[in-house]
Structure 1
Amino acid sequence: MHDNADVPVMIIDDEAHLRITAGQTLELAGYTPRPFESAEAALAELETDFAGVVVSDIRMPGMDGMALLREVRRRDPDLPVILITGHGDISTAVEAMREGAWDFLEKPFAGERLVEMVRRGSEKRRLSLENRALKAELEAQQSAPGPRLVGRTPVIQRLAAMVQRISRVEADVLLFGETGTGKDLVARAIHERSPRGGRPFVAINCGAVPESTIESELFGHEKGAFTGALERRIGKFEHAGGGTVFLDEIESMPLALQVKLLRVLQERTIERLGSNQPVPLDIRVIAATKIDLKAAAEAGEFREDLYYRLNVVTLPIPPLRERREDIPLLFQHFAAVAASRSSMEAPPLDAAGISALLAHDWPGNARELRNLAERYVLLGVTCDYRLDMLMEGVDNNGAELSLPEQVELFEKQLISQALARHHGHVTDVCEHLGLPRKTLYDKLKRHNLKAEHYRHSADP
C-alpha cells in the first residue's frame, strides 16, 4: 500500500460533528485532514496541484457540493472529488458522477468505506501528478534546439553539457556506446548546436555499405573510373561541404579504406576515384563505435594511427541501465512522438507500468524502449495497456532486479521527478510527495540525491 503520511484531504461540511468524525477517521488512517465549513473557504485554500483528495457534503448553505465540484473540475479535472449525499438521494448521486465526481458516499457511511475511497482517490491523484510532472519536464526539454537529450540523471546531464561544449569547437569527435544508445542522436545534436548547424549532416553506416562500393560512396568517382561509372559522382564527404560527416560503426570500415580516411582527416582533401585532382573539404567528422577501438587496434583489427587521430575528443554514451531514473521520461517522450505520428492516444503509465520499465535491463537500450513505446501506443488497447504483456517476447539478456531493488529505484525515480518539478525546493517537494521533512532528507541521503542539483535545469 502507498504510504499515506501527510497526504492532505479536504473535508468540507457545514456540520462540525461530521467534519470532526471524518477528520479523526482519516487521521487514524495516516492522512492529514483539512476541515472547512464552507465550499468558498475551501476553494480559497485550494492550491495548484493539490496533492490529495476533496471530500464534500452536497447540501450546504451558499455554494453547494455540486457547484464546488464544477469549480474544482474547472481548475483541475484530474483532482478527485468525493461527494456525500443524503440517504436514498440516488438522482443526486447519478448527477454527481455525470459531472465528474470521483465517487460518492451515502449517509450514513462506515469510516472504513471513507478511508478506502480516499485511498483509491489519493493513489489516482499521485499518478496524475507524476505523469503531469513527466509531461512538463518533457515539454521543457523539448524547447531546446535540435535533437533533445532527454533525461535528468547526472550521467545524461554531463553528456548534455559536453555536447554543448564540444559543439562550439572545431574538433572531430569519437562517440562510444552500446547498440541503441542513441549515438546518431548525439551526433546530430553536436552538429545542430554548432556553427555548421545550417549545413548538411551526412550519415554513413560503414557496416551497411558493401566493401566494393564504399570508397566510391565516400569519395565519389569520375566518369569512366571503373566499369559502370557512366557519369561523375559526388561522394558523401564532398556533398557534406560546410557541414558534418557522421561515420557510424566505423569499426566496420575496411582496413585499406582506413588509410585513406586517415589522410582525409589530416589533409582535409579527397580525390575522386579516377582522378588525381585533390578536392578541398570543409567538414567536421563525427565517428561512432560500439566496440573498444583501442583493443581492436592492439589486436590488429583497426588501424592504430587512425584510432589515435579519432581519439582527440571521445564521448561515452551511457546505456539505459546506468540511467534508470530517466526511463519513464524517455518512454513518455517516445510514446508522445508515436502518438503524434499515428494520430492515436494512449493513457499515461500507471504504477505497475513504471515498475515494469524500471525492472527491465534494456539490452537494446533506447531503441528497445522506443519500440516498446510505439507498441504501447499502437497495440496497447488490445491488452488494456499492460506493459508486462507488451514486453512478453522481448529479449532481456541482463539480470533482473530484485523486488527490494525495484522498490528502491521506483522511490528514487519519484523523488527525482518531484525535485525536478519543484526546482529543488524541499518544502514544495515534501508537500507534493506527502512526506515529513526529516523523512525526505533521510531518503535523499539514502538515494544520494541533492536538492541543490535541481535548482537550475541544464540546457541539454
Structure 2
Amino acid sequence: MHESPLLPVMIVDDETHLRITAAQTLTLAGYAPQVFESAEQALDALPHHFPGVVVSDIRMPGMDGMALLHEIKRRDPTLPVILITGHGDISTAVEAMRAGAWDFLEKPFAGEQLLDVVRRGIEKRQLSLENTRLKAELEAQQAALGPRLVGRTPVISHLAAMIQRISQVETDVLLFGETGTGKDLVARAIHERSARRNHPFMAINCGAVPEHTIESELFGHERGAFTGAVERRIGKFEHANGGTVFLDEIESMPPALQVKLLRVLQERSVERLGANETIALDIRVIAATKVDLKVAADEGRFREDLYYRLDVVTLPLPALRERREDIPLLFQHFAVVAANRSGLEAPTLDNHAVATLLAHDWPGNVRELRNLAERYVLLGAAFDYRLDVLLAGETASIEEPTLPRQVELFEKSLISQSLARHQGRVIDVCRHLGLPRKTFYDKLKKHGLSAEDYRHSSDP
C-alpha cells in the first residue's frame, strides 16, 4: 500500500519537545501530524473514521494513555493506537497490548522506529476502512441490484434490471450462461424479488442426479411404486407449490423425462409415480443451461417442443471476461467473506495483483474467482500473496489438498501473519497466538519460518 502525503497522525504527549520532534519526523516522511498536549484535546478532535493512527504517551496528567486507548477502542475498535512507554516498562507495554494497543514505542526511540510503526499502523487502518467501505458498497448494491449481484459494469446493471423486471411477472425463465457465471444465484435473486419469496425455492441439478432417481426427485412417488419405495415421497415440484423450481443443467435431463416436464409446464399439474391422482401446481420454473438448446434441439439432443416452451423469456448471463471492471470488486468481496468466516485478514490488492486478475481469462468465471479469493485469504501467506503463483502451475498442489495439509498451511499462515504484525518479537507473537515459547519454536522449525526474517534492523 502506498503512503499518502495527506494521511494524518495524532501525536498526544504533554512533553513539548517530544511533540515537536515527532511532528518534524512525520512531516519529513510525508504525513500530516496533528499534535495535542492532552488526551482530552485529542478526543475532542478525533473524527469519525479517522484515516490515520494515534500515537500517545502513557504517562500524562489528567487522562493518561491507557484511558485514552480504552476510550478510542470504545468509539472505533479498528483505529490503531500506538503507546509510548518509559524505558524498561515492559509490564506496562504488555498491559497496553492486551488492552488493544496496535504497538508500543519505548523511550528513547529513533525516528526510524516511529516511522516504521506508523507506516504499519496506517496500512492496517487503510485496510480496515477499505473493508468497511467495500461492505457498505456491497450492501448498497444488494439493495439496488438484488441480494446476490455484485458489480458496476453496464452489462451487470442491465442484468440486474432484467432480473427486477422478470421477477415481477409470472413466467417461466431460461437462464443461459457458461459454467460458473452464477445461474443458481440469479435464479435465487429472481425468486427472492418476486411475490413467491416467502414460499419454497427448490433447486435440482439435472446433471448430478442419477437418471433412475431423477423422476422420483421431481415428481415424487407412492409407497410401493417401485422396488425400494418403502414410503411416500413428495417430489420437488409438489414441495415447491407456491414457490419456484430451479432446474440446473436442464440439457442433461433424460429424453423420457423431458416429455413429462413438458406436460407439467403446460398443465401445471403433476402425478406421483404409482398414483392416479393429479395434483395442481402453482409454481414458477426457472431452467438453466450452459449449451445452446436451439442447437441441441436441431441436433436431436433436446426436445424441440420443450425448448420452445422454455424459451418464453431467456436471460443470458455474461462471462466474467465480459465484465472485467467488476473483477477487483468481486475478488475483494469474496476475500472479505472468506476472511470474516475464518477470522483472518483480507489483504487489499496492489496494482500488480489487480493487473494479474484483469489479465486472466477466467474460464471458470465467478466460481473460479471466488475459489481464488478464498485460497488467497487462507493460504496466501504461504505463497507471499502472489496471485500469479496461485493462478499458475503451483495451484495444482493446493487445489485439492488433504485435510492435514490444509491445517498445516492454515497454521503457517496464522504464524506468518502474527510474526509480521509483531515484527518478529517472539514474546508478543506467543502471547497473541496463546502458545508456550517452546511450542512456538517447534512450529517455526516445522514450517521453515524464522522470527529474524520479520525483524527490522532498528528493532531493539
- The bucket for the TM-score relative to the shorter chain is 0.5 to 0.7
Aligned match of 2:336: 332
What is the alpha-carbon distance in structure 2 between the residues aligned to residue 327 and residue 123 of structure 1? 19
Aligned match of 1:78: 78
Residues 354 and 223 of structure 1, relative CA distance in 2, 3 Å threshold? farther
Is contact 2:335-2:374 (8 Å) kept?
Answer: no
Aligned match of 1:296: 296
Structure 2 residue 52 is the aligned partner of structure 1 residue 52: yes
Is contact 1:181-1:317 (8 Å) kept?
Answer: yes
Per-residue CA shift, 1:226-279, capped at 9, x if unaligned? Answer: 888899876543444333222111111234543443444334345667889865
Task: Report deviation, 1:44.
Answer: 0.3
Residues 301 and 320 of structure 1, relative CA distance in 2, 3 Å threshold? same
Further displaced range: 293-302 or 134-143: 134-143
**Aligned residue pair count:** 388
Q: Secondary structure at the match of 2:395?
A: coil
The residue type equivalent to 1:346 in the other structure is G
Aligned match of 1:191: 191
Aligned match of 1:153: 152
Further displaced range: 213-222 or 183-192: 213-222
What is the alpha-carbon distance in structure 2 between the residues aligned to residue 39 and residue 230 of structure 1? 75
Aligned match of 2:265: 265
What is the alpha-carbon distance in structure 2 between the residues aligned to residue 3 and residue 110 of structure 1? 20
Aligned match of 2:395: 393
Aligned match of 1:350: 347
Per-residue CA shift, 1:383-433, capped at 9, x if unaligned? Answer: 599686987535999xxxxxxxxxxxxxxxxxxxxxxxxxxxxxxxxxxxx
Is contact 2:149-2:160 (8 Å) kept?
Answer: no
Task: Report deviation, 1:287.
Answer: 0.3
Is contact 1:181-1:320 (8 Å) kept?
Answer: yes
Residues 256 and 42 of structure 1, relative CA distance in 2, 3 Å threshold? same
Aligned match of 2:243: 243
Is contact 2:332-2:348 (8 Å) kept?
Answer: no
Residues 85 and 309 of structure 1, relative CA distance in 2, 3 Å threshold? same
Aligned match of 1:40: 40
Once superposed, what is the RMSD of the aligned Cα atoms? 4.3
Structure 2 residue 213 is the aligned partner of structure 1 residue 181: no
Q: Secondary structure at the match of 2:4?
A: coil
Residues 305 and 394 of structure 1, relative CA distance in 2, 3 Å threshold? farther
Per-residue CA shift, 1:44-102, capped at 9, x if unaligned? Answer: 01112211011223443333333323322332232222233455655554554444333
Task: Report deviation, 1:156.
Answer: 4.7
What is the alpha-carbon distance in structure 1 between the residues aligned to residue 250 and residue 116 of structure 2? 59
Is contact 1:247-1:287 (8 Å) kept?
Answer: yes
Is contact 1:376-1:385 (8 Å) kept?
Answer: no
Further displaced range: 314-323 or 366-375: 366-375
The residue type equivalent to 1:68 in the other structure is L
Is contact 2:332-2:373 (8 Å) kept?
Answer: no
The residue type equivalent to 1:110 in the other structure is A
Per-residue CA shift, 1:420-459, capped at 9, x if unaligned? Answer: xxxxxxxxxxxxxxxxxxxxxxxxxxxxxxxxxxxxxxxx
The residue type equivalent to 1:104 in the other structure is F
Q: Secondary structure at the match of 1:330?
A: helix
Further displaced range: 365-374 or 63-72: 365-374
What is the alpha-carbon distance in structure 2 between the residues aligned to residue 93 and residue 210 of structure 1? 63
Residues 356 and 90 of structure 1, relative CA distance in 2, 3 Å threshold? same
Please give the residue correspondences for 1:277-316 in structure 2 after superposition, counting only pairs within 5 Å: 280-316=280-316
Residues 58 and 364 of structure 1, relative CA distance in 2, 3 Å threshold? same
Is contact 2:69-2:81 (8 Å) kept?
Answer: yes
| 5+ long unaligned stretches in structure 2 | 400-460
Q: Secondary structure at the match of 1:351?
A: coil
What is the alpha-carbon distance in structure 1 between the residues aligned to residue 179 and residue 395 of structure 2? 19
Aligned match of 1:454: none
Per-residue CA shift, 1:278-324, capped at 9, x if unaligned? Answer: 65433211101112333434444334443333222223334455331
Residues 113 and 273 of structure 1, relative CA distance in 2, 3 Å threshold? closer
Residues 14 and 288 of structure 1, relative CA distance in 2, 3 Å threshold? same
Residues 304 and 331 of structure 1, relative CA distance in 2, 3 Å threshold? farther
Aligned match of 2:11: 11
Relative CO higher for 1 or 2, CA cutoff 8 Å, sep ≥ 6? 1
What is the alpha-carbon distance in structure 1 between the residues aligned to residue 310 and residue 397 of structure 2? 33
Per-residue CA shift, 1:210-241, capped at 9, x if unaligned? Answer: 44555565456789988888998765434443
What is the alpha-carbon distance in structure 2 between the residues aligned to residue 257 and residue 108 of structure 1? 80
What is the alpha-carbon distance in structure 2 between the residues aligned to residue 272 and residue 92 of structure 1? 74
Is contact 1:221-1:233 (8 Å) kept?
Answer: yes
Residues 168 and 27 of structure 1, relative CA distance in 2, 3 Å threshold? same
Structure 2 residue 117 is the aligned partner of structure 1 residue 117: yes
Q: Secondary structure at the match of 2:82?
A: strand
Task: Report deviation, 1:209.
Answer: 3.8
What is the alpha-carbon distance in structure 2 between the residues aligned to residue 97 and residue 215 of structure 1? 62
Further displaced range: 222-231 or 280-289: 222-231
